[in-house]
């Protein structure tokens, strides 16, 4: 059971209209000039993993992804890149449980922090502070959770055509003061008939950049923005 995104839809929905964050990533990663171990935490289907491996050709890369469906897509992506066979390792499991020993040269975490409960988020920041090499860096996106926990009625949030099927994501949420309970319904529709439907329910906590960066500082990490979508965290 996927806990965030339905793997069959993940890359398709993301591909529509381009993803500015993914577009910004290669230059930001290349600019870090690390040759140490590079990790992709919560690697999903591996868009970031391959970008990381290409940007840092002298680094061994470890991708950690707990969802078997996302990992299947990641392994399929890697199967198309035999040049990365020796250098990229995929680890099933939780990024916070039994983490890879340091020092880490670079840790990439895209759309991961926003998936974590506050306590897990602080655990992740403590882990980065502990594992990053003195000149190491973490690259995170700047979306940290829901900014405004409020209910959302069922809304079609994405529609993508593949062949003569339409792939739809319908979003709805109920709210508590500090979180939303999100329900994404993924539908494959052909000529008006629903061929498949899959519901993914998840909790997204309220958070904002000031809170997370204060937590990062408390963990011993200093931040630096790079563009409007990514932030770098380094040992203070």
Measured distance CA(56)–CA(38) in Å, rounded: 8
Q: Measured in Å, how far apart are the chain's first and last C-alpha atoms?
A: 39
Residue nearest to ligand SAM (CB): 44
Measured distance CA(228)–CA(6) in Å, rounded: 27
Q: Which stretch binds ligand SAM (CB under 6 A): 66-74, 79-87, 181-189, 221-229?
A: 66-74
The contact pattern for ligand SAM, residues 112-141, with x = CB under 6 A and - = no contact, is x--x--------------------------
Task: Choose among 96, 94, 142, 146: nearest CA to 122.
Answer: 96
Nearer to ligand SAM, 48 or 149 (CB): 48
Q: Which stretch binds ligand SAM (CB under 6 A): 41-49, 149-157, 218-226, 227-235?
A: 41-49
Measured distance CA(168)–CA(106) in Å, rounded: 35
Q: Does residue 42 interact with ligand SAM by CB under 6 A?
A: yes
Measured distance CA(7)–CA(130) in Å, rounded: 31
Yes or no: say if 170 and 154 are a contact pair by the CB < 8 Å rule: yes
Q: Please give the distance of CA 196 from its chain centroid, rounded to a whole number.
A: 25
Q: Does residue 142 interact with ligand SAM by CB under 6 A?
A: no
Q: Does residue 230 interact with ligand SAM by CB under 6 A?
A: no
Nearer to ligand SAM, 4 or 230 (CB): 4
> Minimum distance from CB of 73 to ligand SAM (Å)?
9
Q: Does residue 99 interact with ligand SAM by CB under 6 A?
A: no
Task: Choose among 120, 52, 122: nearest CA to 88.
Answer: 52
Q: Which stretch binds ligand SAM (CB under 6 A): 75-83, 109-117, 175-183, 190-198?
A: 109-117
Q: Which stretch binds ligand SAM (CB under 6 A): 31-39, 75-83, 91-99, 212-220?
A: 91-99
> Minimum distance from CB of 117 to ligand SAM (Å)?
10
Secondary structure in 3-state letters for 47-75: HHHHHHHHHCCCCCEEEEECCHHHHHHHH
Q: Please give the distance of CA 185 from its chain centroid, rounded to a whole number.
A: 20
- Tokens describing residue 116: 């974590």
> Minimum distance from CB of 132 to ligand SAM (Å)?
18
* Residue of the chain from 36, 39, 48, 77 that contacts ligand SAM (CB under 6 A): 48
Residue numbers at the binding site for ligand SAM (CB under 6 A): 3-5, 42-45, 47-48, 64-67, 70, 94-96, 110-112, 115
């Amino acid at each position: 059971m996927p806990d965030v995104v339905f793997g069959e839809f993940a890359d398709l929905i993301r591909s529509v209209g381009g993803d500015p964050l993914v577009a910004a990533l290669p230059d930001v990663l290349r600019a870090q000039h690390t040759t140490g171990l590079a990790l992709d935490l919560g690697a999903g289907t591996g868009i970031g993993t391959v970008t990381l491996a290409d940007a840092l050709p002298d680094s061994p890369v470890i991708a950690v992804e707990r969802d078997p469906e996302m990992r299947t897509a990641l392994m399929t992506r890697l199967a198309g890149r035999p040049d990365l066979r020796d250098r990229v390792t995929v680890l099933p499991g939780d990024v916070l449980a039994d983490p890879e020993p340091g020092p880490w040269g670079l840790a990439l975490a895209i759309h991961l922090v926003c998936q974590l409960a506050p306590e897990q988020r602080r655990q992740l920041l403590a882990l980065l502070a502990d594992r990053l090499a003195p000149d190491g860096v973490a690259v995170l996106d700047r979306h940290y959770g829901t900014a405004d926990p409020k209910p959302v009625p069922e809304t079609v949030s994405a529609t993508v055509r593949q062949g003569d099927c339409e792939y739809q994501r319908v979003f709805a949420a109920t709210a508590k003061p500090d979180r939303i309970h999100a329900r994404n319904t993924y539908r494959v529709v052909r000529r008006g008939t629903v061929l498949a439907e899959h519901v993914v329910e998840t909790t997204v906590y309220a958070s904002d950049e000031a809170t997370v960066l204060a937590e990062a500082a408390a963990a011993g990490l200093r931040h630096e923005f790079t563009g409007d979508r990514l932030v770098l965290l380094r040992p203070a």
